């Protein structure tokens, strides 16, 4: 099933989020990063957790109250200072002009939970603790501060950041932070079903180990926040950054981050970006990026173009089942290696200028990569650029243009094992599922991709289909 041409997962996400709202000049890697204060040691407990519910109400409460339903606290910070493992804090509807710092940890099986009852607006959380859940808040107007300026910053592990709406945060939306002494300590967080709008620099920044980032929507990111005293030289406007290892990043929807926005002076705009910039940004490795929808087909100068994935000094990434609308689908350089790129659908726009170097996949100094079972449609530039990237294993990719012209190919890349100039027969101009007569059906290589973008098992027929979607009988 599709709703107004949107993919099933994206349509479902939008419906869920509407329900939630009803309830409540040259690109270079950053040469400077925010200066973070030394991490504070989370307060941990070894006593047996006790289940307890606290209440916060800024209209009826007092911080001298016991925090019960009848006698609630006034501030969320009072609750953060008072909780123990297993405690839940119910924050009643209202506008809370406070940025809250959480230093007390929960425990395995005894998460500390902050949740909303009705529509709660506040100025964000800085979490220096483990086993903390934040769910249901609208966060905006964060301070102009390198730490507290984030909508939610987590310096800890086993967090759950869920169903929040973060907008106009001055230093970024959500940051899973880690410093060089805690690379292997901060991890195993879940960032799920959050909406991130017009936050500065980036919607979500993931660092550390083994995080799950899924079904979030990021749009309208801005390079220069109008209420930041001094925007740094490295400022950009991106969707999701990822560093560290072991993450799964799936089902996210990134769109409408534009060069026409007056706050976007000269950014490069990436749906997904990774780079190596110690001590805070590790090189990314062993990360799975799957079933994400990136809508970023735009360009205004040779260095200001919309990319799906911007990868530098990364290794062992799996990029599969993504729907990517962009000027450059994947740009990989600076010793990135061992990429596995399977069953994606890359869409571009033939009206975009070719002198800004568009490409489906651009591999520069990126050896030992696999590119199979991908669809490239209406790419105005070369489909796959292979430059100083040895040991490329590519095949069963389909490339087509709606104007009937043959797709372009780099002089170092042979498309002998691909389907070149073959119409994939999408369902419609805006629906990239396959029609029953598509030549992409059963035409792919058998690869370790067991589901498609919509979550259907692969293969459905005699073989793997090409592209992000498996053809499902009676569903199209």
Mean pLDDT of 305-312: 98
Tell me how far apart the alpha carbons of residues 82 and 66 are, in angstroms, rounded to a whole number: 10
The pLDDT, as a whole number, for residue 56 is 98
pLDDT tens sequence across 156-178: 999 999 999 999 999 999 999 98
The total of other beta-carbon atoms located within 10 Å of residue 116's CB is: 24
Q: What is the pTM of this model?
A: 0.90
Looking only at the bridges linking them, the beta strands covering 160-162 and 132-135 are parallel
- First CA to last CA distance, the chain: 8
Mean pLDDT of 317-345: 97
pLDDT tens sequence across 451-466: 999 999 999 999 999 9
For the record, the structure tokens of 466 come out as 């090409």
The pLDDT, as a whole number, for residue 319 is 98
The pLDDT, as a whole number, for residue 46 is 47
Helix (H, G, I), strand (E, B) or coil at 81: helix
**229 half-sphere exposure, CB direction, 13 A CA radius:** 5
Tell me how far apart the alpha carbons of residues 148 and 306 are, in angstroms, rounded to a whole number: 29
Q: Which residues contact 463 (CB under 8 A, 6 or more apart)?
A: 442, 443, 444, 446
């Amino acid at each position: 099933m599709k709703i107004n041409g949107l993919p099933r997962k994206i349509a479902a996400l939008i419906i869920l989020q509407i329900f939630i709202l009803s309830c409540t000049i040259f690109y270079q890697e950053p040469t400077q990063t925010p200066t973070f204060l030394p991490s504070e040691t989370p307060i941990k407990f070894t006593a047996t957790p006790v289940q307890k519910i606290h209440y916060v109400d800024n209209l009826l409460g007092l911080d001298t109250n016991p925090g019960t339903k009848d006698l609630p606290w006034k501030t969320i910070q009072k609750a953060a200072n008072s909780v123990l493992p297993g405690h839940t804090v119910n924050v009643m509807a209202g506008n809370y002009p406070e940025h809250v710092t959480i230093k007390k940890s929960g425990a395995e099986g005894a998460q500390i939970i902050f949740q909303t009852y009705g529509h709660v607006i506040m100025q964000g959380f800085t979490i220096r603790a483990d086993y903390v859940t934040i769910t249901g808040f609208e966060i905006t107007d964060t301070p102009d501060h390198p730490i507290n300026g984030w909508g939610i910053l987590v310096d800890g592990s086993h967090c759950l950041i869920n169903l929040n709406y973060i907008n106009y945060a001055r230093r970024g939306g959500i940051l899973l932070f880690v410093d060089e002494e805690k690379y292997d300590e901060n991890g195993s967080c879940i960032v799920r079903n959050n909406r991130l709008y017009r936050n500065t620099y980036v919607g979500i920044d993931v660092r550390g180990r083994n995080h799950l980032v899924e079904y979030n929507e990021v749009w309208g990111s801005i390079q220069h926040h109008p209420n930041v005293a001094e925007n740094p030289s490295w400022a950009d406007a991106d969707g999701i950054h990822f560093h560290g290892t072991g993450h799964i990043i799936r089902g996210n929807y990134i769109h409408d981050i534009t060069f026409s926005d007056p706050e976007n002076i000269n950014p490069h705009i990436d749906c997904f970006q990774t780079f190596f910039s110690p001590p805070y940004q590790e090189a990314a490795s062993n990360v799975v990026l799957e079933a994400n929808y990136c809508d970023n087909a735009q360009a205004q100068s040779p260095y200001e173009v919309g990319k799906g994935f911007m990868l530098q000094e990364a290794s062992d990434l799996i990029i599969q089942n993504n729907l990517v609308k962009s000027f450059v689908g994947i740009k990989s350089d600076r010793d990135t290696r061992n990429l596995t790129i399977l069953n994606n659908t890359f869409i571009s726009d033939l009206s975009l200028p070719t002198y800004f170097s568009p490409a489906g996949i651009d591999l520069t100094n990126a050896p030992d990569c696999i590119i199979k079972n991908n669809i490239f449609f209406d790419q105005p530039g070369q489909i796959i650029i292979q430059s100083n990237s040895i040991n490329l294993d590519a095949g069963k990719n389909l490339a087509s243009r709606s104007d009937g012209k043959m797709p372009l190919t780099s002089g170092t890349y042979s498309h002998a094992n691909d389907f070149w100039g073959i119409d994939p027969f999408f369902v419609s101009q805006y629906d990239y599922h396959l029609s029953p007569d598509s030549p992409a059906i059963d035409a792919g290589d058998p690869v370790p991709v067991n589901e498609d973008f919509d979550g259907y098992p692969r293969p459905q027929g005699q073989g793997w289909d090409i592209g992000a979607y498996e053809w499902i009988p009676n569903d199209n």
